[in-house]
Amino acid sequence: MYPTIHRPAARRALALGLVAGAWLIPSASMAGAETYLPTGAAAVTAETSHIQLVQAEVVPDEMPVSYTAEQADRGQKQYDKECVDCHGKDLGGGLNGGPPLRGLAFEEKFGDGNTASTMFLFMSSLMPPNSPGRYSESTYADLMAYILKRNGYQPGAPLPSDAEALDYLIMEK
């Protein structure tokens, strides 16, 4: 089993820490307690803590992964040309020993709530084995869209070709 790490979840934890810390400073000064705040650039006032609160709330939400039909069609053409020998026409594994890209093996590795960037980074940094990373980011996104389609994921918004944007997309059907 692979560990699941959600970067957006870590950002939320950081935001919650900022929010909690920002509430402590104004509440301590309102209670009449003597507080020792730094001066200069490190000084925190009620006004700056409010700004920190607003900034902390601007963490994008995670959404289910999606792709467009056009991306999946382009991905299928690329897959049939470059990937079928290793992964098979039906994505069930091919003659050259590539692992299945659908079903339980796929879901255990990339599904089950992982971020879409996990799959994208795996593909773009390790595939094809004889020349990893040789395709453009948009080609890898197209290939990923085709694989998602074959695994029953739903079409919708275009699948980004940026790993950081894919951090906010969750692999769930």
pLDDT, residue 120, reads 98
163 found inside a domain: yes
Same domain as 68, residue 147: yes
Q: What is the DSSP letter of 164?
A: H
Is residue 169 within 8 Å of 10, Cβ to Cβ? no
CATH number at 160 reads: 1.10.760.10
Reported residue count of the chain is 173
2 found inside a domain: no
Same domain as 162, residue 82: yes
> In this prediction, what percent of the chain has a pLDDT beyond 70?
65
Domain boundary among 38, 56, 74: 56
pLDDT, residue 6, reads 52
**pLDDT exceeds cutoff 70 at 165:** yes
Instruction: Work out the average pLDDT over 66-95.
Output: 96
Indicate the pTM of the whole model.
0.67
Same domain as 128, residue 107: yes
Same domain as 146, residue 91: yes
Same domain as 110, residue 85: yes
CA distances in angstroms from 54 to 16, 41, 46, 61, 106, listed in the order given: 12, 20, 13, 15, 39
Same domain as 117, residue 42: no
- What sign does the dihedral 113-163-123-152 (CA atoms) show? positive
Give me the number of domains the chain comprises.
2
| pLDDT band of 46, cuts 50, 70, 90 | low
Per the structure, the complete domain to which residue 91 belongs is given by 63-170
Same domain as 46, residue 75: no
1 found inside a domain: no
**pLDDT exceeds cutoff 90 at 172:** yes
102 found inside a domain: yes
pLDDT, residue 129, reads 94
Cα dihedral 57, 154, 133, 110, rounded to 10, equals 80
Same domain as 13, residue 48: yes
pLDDT, residue 109, reads 94
110 found inside a domain: yes
Give the rounded distance of the alpha carbon of 158 from its chain centre. Answer: 14
Domain boundary among 34, 56, 78: 56
Same domain as 43, residue 74: no
pLDDT tens for 111-158 read 989 999 999 999 999 999 999 999 999 999 999 999 999 999 999 999
Same domain as 77, residue 51: no
Same domain as 158, residue 81: yes
Alpha-helical runs (H) found in the chain: 7-30, 46-56, 69-82, 84-87, 104-110, 116-126, 137-150, 163-166
Among 45, 49, 47, 42, smallest CA distance to 22 is for 49
42 found inside a domain: yes
Is residue 65 within 8 Å of 75, Cβ to Cβ? no
